[in-house]
Structure 1
Amino acid sequence: MDTITVRNAVLEDAPRILEIYSYYVKHTAITFEYVVPTLKEFQIRMKNTMQKYPYLVIEQSGQVQGYAYAGSFVRRAAYDWSCELSIYLDRNARNCGLGRRIYDALANRLKKMGILNLYACIGYPQTEDEYLSKNSQQFHAHLGFQTVGLFHNCGYKFGRWYDMIWMEKIIGEHKADQPPVQFFR
């Protein structure tokens, strides 16, 4: 039986994580990034994220199969209780429960920090094509996210225009005297 582990990412995971991400940059409109970042640039991104938020990997039989992380929703103090999530799985590791498992682990860590609102910014096709399907929206909806915004023709990649949606999931109680977020260390 395969052993599945979710753990905090370390910078030594960057080559494998970048390998997973590069497929999406080169072959999909899931990310609107055009050029695969260098390993050094990717490590800097990871390090910056890990200063405040969890950055997780999921391993199956010792091999990293995906990663998920949180980041600032908007860089203003009043938004500290909200964050944006990102998830990428190896293209051969989708539809087997790993996405739910790592996202649940991420949400649990964020809730312990005092985060209340989770957001996902998702490329959304007007018509599904070989670069973008509605799978990400469906995955998030299955996990309890609701669509709260639609931006028309805001992403251009592979000679095509794509919409973008925002999805939201509330994971905590909003109070009049809200305690501060305990950022990840």
Structure 2
Amino acid sequence: MPKTPPTTPPTTPQVTLRDASPADAAACAALYAPYVSGTAVSFEDVPPSGTEMARRIEAYGASHAWLVADLDGALVGYAYAGPYRPRPAYRWTAESSVYLGLDAPRRTGAGRALYAALLERLAARGYRQVITGITLPNDASVGLHRALGFVEVGVERQVGWKLGAWHDLLRMQRSLVPGAPGGAPAEPC
């Protein structure tokens, strides 16, 4: 009986997370553009330029957080948070988003890792709640958010017109602090 040669175990792609910088703007813009131009996942109509993406990375990275995921040296996703609403009473609540490249390998853990790191960063900066909006249907995104402790808080019906149709937006929320909110918190940084 012939011997079977030993096999080398397949290498697991290595996901590395880091803070985004303006140098990542072009890659983030390229990753995001197909969501803007070909899906209702984003309600933007025109993909932002690299310059605009650099502005967003600097603004949200300074006030909240913007992280990127590299997989074997290529940027495959990003997650960020920004202000939920402009009025002062909302300043302890952030609104989050996560995007993985449409051509990025799936089931690598990049999305979950990005989001978990984003939530940790927001909590460390003093934010207490995080809210996200998910265009329906999007079972993968809803599943990821549920797995990370988000709960559904409502559906905004037919609020987005894109690609010739009205779209619903599911709102999900997660507390960043255990237990009851308590008294007045410190200002988020």
TM-score by length of 2: 0.87
Q: In the TM superposition, what is the alpha-carbon distance from 1:179 to its structure 2 partner?
A: 2.2
Shift of 1:115: 1.2
Matching of residue 76 in structure 1 with residue 87 in structure 2: yes
1:166 aligns with 2:168: no
| Identical columns (%) | 34
1:146: how far off?
0.7
Residue of structure 2 equivalent to 1:92:
103
Q: Counterpart of 1:179?
A: 186
Partner secondary structure for residue 97 of structure 2: strand
Q: How many angstroms does 1:24 deviate by? A: 0.6
Aligned residues: 175
Deviates more, 1:160-169 or 1:93-102: 93-102
Identify which range, 133-142 or 62-71, moves more after superposition. 133-142
Given candidates 104, 108, 111, the residue that maps to 2:116 is 104
TM-superposed deviation, 1:180: 2.1
Look up the SS of the partner of 2:63 in the other structure.
coil
CA shift for structure 1 position 177: 3.4
Please tell me whether the aligned partners of residues 150 and 174 of structure 2 are also in contact (alpha carbons under 8 angstroms): yes
Give the root-mean-square deviation of aligned CA atoms.
1.4
Distance in structure 1 (CA, Å) of the matches to 2:134 and 2:78: 16
Q: Give the aligned residue type for 1:178.
A: P
* Partner Cα separation in structure 2 for residue 26 and residue 157 of structure 1: 10
Matched residue SS, 1:51: helix
Point out 4+ residue stretches in structure 1 off by more than 6 angstroms.
none
Q: Deviations over 1:27-74 (max 9, x none)?
A: 211001111122222222222212311110011111111000010011
| Cα distance between partner residues in 2 of 1:28 and 1:78 | 33
Aligned partner of residue 141 in structure 2, secondary structure: helix
> Is contact 2:81-2:94 (8 Å) kept?
yes
User: In the aligned structure 2, how far is the partner of 1:38 from the partner of 1:179?
Assistant: 36
Query: Contact 2:21–2:54 (CA<8 Å) still a contact in 1?
Result: no
Give the structure 1 partner of residue 129 of structure 2.
117
Structure 2 partner of 1:156? 161
Unaligned runs of 5+ in 1: 126-132
- State which drifts further: 116-125 or 92-101: 92-101
Q: Which has the higher contact order (CA 8 A, sep 6+)?
A: 1
CA distance in 1: counterparts of 2:89 and 2:45, whole angstroms: 32
> Would you say the 8 A contact 2:152–2:171 is kept in 1?
yes
- Mapped to 1, the partners of 2:116 and 2:108 lie a distance apart of 15
Indicate whether 1:63 and 2:74 are aligned. Answer: yes
Asked if structure 1 preserves the Cα contact closer than 8 Å seen for 2:80 and 2:98, the reply is yes
